[in-house]
Structure 1
Amino acid sequence: MAEAHHNLHYVYLALGDLPASLEAYQRAVTLQPNLAILPPRYRIEAIQGIGGVGVVYKAWDTEQQQPVAVKVLQRSQAQTERLLAGFRREANTLRTLDHPGIVKLLDFGEYRGNYYIVMPFLAGETLKEALRNAKSDNQPVSLDRAYRLIGQVCAR
């Protein structure tokens, strides 16, 4: 039963049904804790999004007592050495960067075949959401709003 829920988690991810995917994952891990895709210190609370090679989860870091964002390389992608090397490069690059406009790397590793990068969780709207919310009545984003958004992106 736990394996079925675990498999459903991935099916729902592929379909883009994030709430159903999260529910299936949580049921699987409740029934069989060894199906967790992250070390026990990280408790998945939400699925933030799906990209071309990974899934971003909002999790709770039980050691640091803070919310974190965890990017997990999709297993099908992890089997491609080139993509795995790129994921490792991303983590190593993040580790060396120190700038107020760049999110810090908190952790990076592999757990039961799942490769992950942990960063602080930043609450707020994405640029995509800001652009969508800024548009009204199917009109383009105002020049003033565009300047403010670009200013935030380029700050510091």
Structure 2
Amino acid sequence: MIQGDNKVLLLESSEIQEIMGGVMLLTQRSPLHRAYLVSEWYQQIYPAITLNQFRYYTDEHGNPLAFCNWAFLSKKNMNEILSGERDIRKEDWQSGSNMFFPEMIAPYGHAKMMATDLRRNILSSRKGERVCAIRGQPNKQNSLAKPRVQWFKI
């Protein structure tokens, strides 16, 4: 099952809670995400769900498999976020047209499936466009992830 897309979707409170719980489980299975503070996690996830700028994947039994979200940033906001000057804020999520992926969580190996689905079903109108994400690289000395900007073409 896949939830969230680029169409208007009003989720019930119970659906939001279910998705948030599933995403929390996914983050606990991901070495890059498990060190998040609750406030960081909420800031990175919740706005996308309320704005329907996300995809949440589950198996046939409703178990979470993967999650990703996207924001449409102004050039200024994008530059500040990519430089590490600050994190994404609630008001940033629809501040412009530059597509940015704050989170792509696929701890069970579903990243390729997620990317294929996004290209075919969500981002087909943006084919050829360059978009970016900040990805973490696990740090062996501690539980923190070193961030790096990753650009890719749709």
User: TM-score by structure 1 length?
Assistant: 0.28
Tell me which protein shows more helix as a share of its residues. Answer: 1
TM-score, reference length from structure 2: 0.28
Instruction: Specify which structure has the bigger relative contact order, considering alpha-carbon pairs within 8 angstroms and separated by 6 or more residues.
Output: 2
